[in-house]
Amino acid sequence: MLTFLRIFAYLKQNDMQFKDIAGQRDVINRLTEIIDSGRVSHAQLFLGATADGSLQLALAYLQYLCCEHRQHYDGGELRADSCGECPSCKKLAQLMHPDLHLIFPNAATSKVSGSSIWSGDFMADFRDFVLQHNALGTLDEWYATLGTENKQGMIRELDASHIVSDLALKSYEGGWKMMVIWMAEKMNIAAANELLKTLEEPTPGTLLLLVAESDERLLSTIRSRVQTVRLKPADSLQAAAGSEEFAKLLVEWLRLLFKLKMKELSAQVDRMAAMNREQQKQFLGYALGVMRDCFLHGAAGLPVDIGSGDQKFDAMFPQMVTVNNIELINTALNEALFALERNANAKIALMQLSFSMSMALKKR
């Protein structure tokens, strides 16, 4: 149990950097260019499914905006990113920056109820939820975490008046005052009208990021006042993340399972968890197929083209999968698949899988 808690604490050191977001490279490069040129629009709408990374992107965007040591890369797919190390990055990654305000759908629960509830009453739960799900948790998952017992959450007038008053405050750290409204389409009419006033007369130094899965339910008066950042849908990402990418990811992971160096393994698990849930499941399905191939061919001493581009590895690895451990490997992968299907925390499920796989491989 102790080990598990320690792993959990380790995994909880979250990062909100662009590099951890699956795909969206073109969108990200455009965003960093705009920030670098100092033409940041005070009201923006990040449009895309949460599971595809719309909230992740909004948070990484803020981290880059406030980063004290922005990193620029030459020639890479990703042209710039926040440093992840400076005080501002650290505070934002933990959602603890004093100038970051969060608003999200909420509803009465068995613990918190009454006519004056608003997002602030659920802030600690929401922070945990976002961090544990790497900002990919869906609205249904959030309601399940809250325990709203089938009541639909909403963003109400009281939430909107907090938006207005929070943004009217002086910035604590002298920089941007940032407001993220997650699932902005859940604003009711009263809240939307209240928000409209802020959009019409923004106080200087404020940044309002609306994150929504659909803009159909947003008032057209709001839509016309925000700059829209449209995420690429996961379908097109999935086509990009073909078996070649899976192969690369799998080989890197398998190599680390032998070394079992915590830091490297954790970084690799982060990369796997950065895919959306559908891709994670496809990846594990792919891994199951490769393991079966290795078992069938390894026994006969035949190499398997795992896609490592390394003949030595292709010849060596299949011999690690034998009659002694194929069942263990199968079970570990299937259990992880099952956990992901039931919306378990991806990092924890993949880390547990890594340990089970590592032990299984040693039992060849």
Q: Which is nearer to Zn ion, 83 or 288 (CB)?
A: 83
Q: Which is nearer to Zn ion, 79 or 277 (CB)?
A: 79
Q: Which is nearer to Zn ion, 82 or 356 (CB)?
A: 82
Closest approach, Cβ 71 to Zn ion, in A, equals: 8
Kind plus residue range of the DSSP H or E element containing 101: strand 100-103
Closest approach, Cβ 38 to Zn ion, in A, equals: 17
Q: Rg for the chain (alpha carbons), in Å?
A: 22
Q: Which is nearer to Zn ion, 40 or 219 (CB)?
A: 40
Please identify, among the stretches 61-69, 147-155, 281-289, 319-327, the one whose residues bind Zn ion according to the rule CB under 5 A.
61-69
- x-marked contacts with Zn ion along 303-332 as a string, rule CB under 5 A: ------------------------------
Closest approach, Cβ 275 to Zn ion, in A, equals: 25
Interface of this chain with Zn ion, residues 86 to 115, rule: CB under 5 A: 86, 89
Q: Which is nearer to Zn ion, 83 or 144 (CB)?
A: 83
Closest approach, Cβ 169 to Zn ion, in A, equals: 24
CB 351, CB 266: distance < 8 Å: yes
Q: Is 35 in the site for Zn ion (CB under 5 A)?
A: no
Provide the strand spans (E) within 158-286.
177-182, 206-212, 227-230
Closest approach, Cβ 214 to Zn ion, in A, equals: 32
Q: Is 171 helix (H, G, I), strand (E, B) or coil?
A: coil
| Strand ranges of the sheet holding 206-212, from the earlier edge strand across to the other edge | 100-103, 177-182, 206-212, 43-47, 227-230
- Sequence length of the chain is 364
Rounded to an integer, what distance in angstroms lies between the CA atom of residue 127 and that of residue 216?
27
Rounded to an integer, what distance in angstroms lies between the CA atom of residue 1 and that of residue 335?
19
Which amino acid is it at 224? S
Task: Using DSSP bridges, classify how beta strands 177-182 and 100-103 pair: parallel, antiparallel or unpaired.
Answer: parallel
Token digits for 116? 């004056």
Interface of this chain with Zn ion, residues 62 to 91, rule: CB under 5 A: 67, 82-83, 86, 89
Closest approach, Cβ 65 to Zn ion, in A, equals: 10
Please identify, among the stretches 60-68, 280-288, 299-307, 339-347, the one whose residues bind Zn ion according to the rule CB under 5 A.
60-68
Q: Which is nearer to Zn ion, 82 or 268 (CB)?
A: 82
Cβ neighbours for 188, distance < 8 A, ≥ 6 positions apart? 154, 155, 156, 157
Closest approach, Cβ 89 to Zn ion, in A, equals: 3
By the 10 Å C-beta count (0-12 exposed, 13-18 middle, 19+ buried), 297 is classed as: middle
CA atoms within 13 A on the CB side of 138: 10
Residues that bind Zn ion (CB under 5 A): 67, 82-83, 86, 89
